[in-house]
Amino acid sequence: MTFDLLHTDSSARAGIIHTDHGDIETPIFMPVGTQGAVKAVEQRELEELGAQIILGNTYHLYLRPGVELLKTMRGLHRFMSWTKPLLTDSGGYQVFSLSDLRKISDEGVTFKSHLDGSAHFFSPEDVINIERAIGSDIMMVLDECTPYPCEHEYAKVSNKLTVQWAQRCQKEFHSTDPLFEHTQALFGIVQGSVFKDIRKESAEALTSQEFDGYAIGGLAVGEPVEIMYELTEFCTELLPVNKPRYLMGVGTPENLLECVERGVDMFDCVLPTRNGRNGMVFTRNGKMNLRNAQYRTEELPVDEVCECYLCKNFSRAYLRHLFQTKEILALQLASLHNLTFYLWLLKEARKKILKNEFSLWKKEMIAQCQSSNSTT
């Protein structure tokens, strides 16, 4: 994996990540395919809507289908018939948010499966080897994602462990080979909760180790949005310019644009698919909750300039009818549209960065996205 930074417009960046499964034009939004599938969206539809990379989750894929089957199938790309790049979250976040009775030691983390309560153990080395079996193009180190709020002392101790684990992950990464016929990259994860001194320690420790890219973790976990923006900016300024930066688990369209402005290149979030399944669609003219009665007779498409299958063929009234009648098709069409919108938004951001027009466009776009009257 290599990264070319093509252009900066103030702190906003346009670049290209080259992987053996193809290029990724940044800034990029990465649809979340936790268990080897993006919820309610077919792989061919992901390609159609312009997805350049999708996520898998190490914790979930380790539990199901399991490492042995992933090896038998020669990796997740082949298993799920996805030919473009894959990134795997390390599972650290899930171990801490989903599983019961987790117990952290220097050695790693013991946890019980959220599925059946069975006991498991992840060392940093284990996580690298699971990600080898998955065969993701971009692997993440094992980290502890601190909750919000979090005591300074806890965040400091936690980050010390996260940095140690990152070093062990990298050592394991360099002493093992990919299992399949493509290279894999490894990203470090900057933690430190809302404390700048710990974020600085974390970023310095990790950048001294030459990872292929750097993620910012432990944000968007409940803290005020202004703090999230401030810490994102603080972190990107500490990270090397020649490596991609990935802000984990963020966010709304507004969050994405604000953080692109602060130097972030990569994003993932369940919002477009999860909210889509709940009847909420994102458009250039604000959010709409299709369950609202106001859309009952609206013949307009969800977004008049959107090129997705939903917007080119169906009215708001029809999509509302599908939600009212609990049709699975509602989940499919709303997810498809929301991902199309998220991908479009960052593609458009990239164009504006390349023309040094990002800042003004961002302001207008955010104002549009926040407008409450979506009927044009």
State in angstroms the smallest separation of the CB of 40 from its own copies: 4
Which amino acid is present at 90? S
Q: CA 181 to CA 199: how far, in whole Å? A: 36
Catalytic-labelled residue, pool 9, 89, 143, 265: 89
Closest CB to its own copies among 45 and 125?
45
Measured between alpha carbons, how far is 355 from 130 in angstroms, rounded to an integer?
41
- Give least dist CB 134 to its own copies, A: 13
Q: Report the b/e string of 91-102 with b at 16+ CB within 10 A.
A: bbbbbbebbeeb
- 303 catalytic? Reply is no
- Closest contact distance (angstroms) between CB of 85 and its own copies is 18
Tell me which long-range contacts 116-120 makes (C-beta under 8 A, separation of at least 24): 120/62, 120/63
Closest distance to its own copies from the beta carbon of 72 (Å): 6
Nearer to its own copies, 62 or 173 (CB): 62
Please give the full DSSP string across 145-165, using - where no structure is assigned.
---SS--HHHHHHHHHHHHHH
Decide whether 78 or 351 has the Cβ nearer to its own copies: 78
Give the type of residue at 262. R
Beta bridge partners of 86: 54
Q: How far is the CB of 295 from its own copies (least distance, A)?
A: 11
Which CB atom, from 37 or from 270, has the smaller least distance to its own copies?
37
The verdict on whether 89 is a catalytic residue reads yes
- Residue 281: exposed, middle, or buried by beta-carbon count in 10 A (0-12, 13-18, 19+)? buried
CA distance 85 to 152: 37
Q: Which phi and psi angles does 295 have, rounded to 5°?
A: -95, 0
| Active-site option among 126, 143, 268, 303 | 268
- Tokens 């795997």 belong to residue: 88
Give helix 152-174 / helix 196-207 axis angle, nearest 10°. Answer: 10
Which residue, 44 or 181, is less far from its own copies as judged by CB? 44
DSSP string, 300-345: S-SSTT--SHHHHH--HHHHHHHHHTT-HHHHHHHHHHHHHHHHHH
The residue (of 12 and 63) whose beta carbon lies closer to its own copies is 63
Evaluated on CA atoms 216, 221, 222, 225, the torsion sign reads positive
Whole-number minimum distance, CB 98 to its own copies, in Å?
14
CA 48, CA 298: separation in Å to the nearest integer?
A: 27
Q: Based on CB atoms, which residue is closest to its own copies, 197 or 307?
A: 307
Phi, psi of 11 (to 5 degrees): -90, -10
Residue 136 CB, nearest distance to its own copies (Å)?
A: 17
What is the distance between the alpha carbons of residues 212 and 1, in angstroms, rounded to a whole number?
7
Assign 3 to helix, strand or coil: strand
Closest CB 246 distance from its own copies, rounded Å? 25
Residues near its own copies, by CB under 8 A? 35-44, 60, 64-65, 69, 72-73, 79-81, 296-297, 299, 309, 313-315, 317-318, 321-322, 324-325, 327-329, 331-333
Residue 246 or 314 having the CB closest to its own copies: 314
Positions annotated as catalytic residues are 89, 268
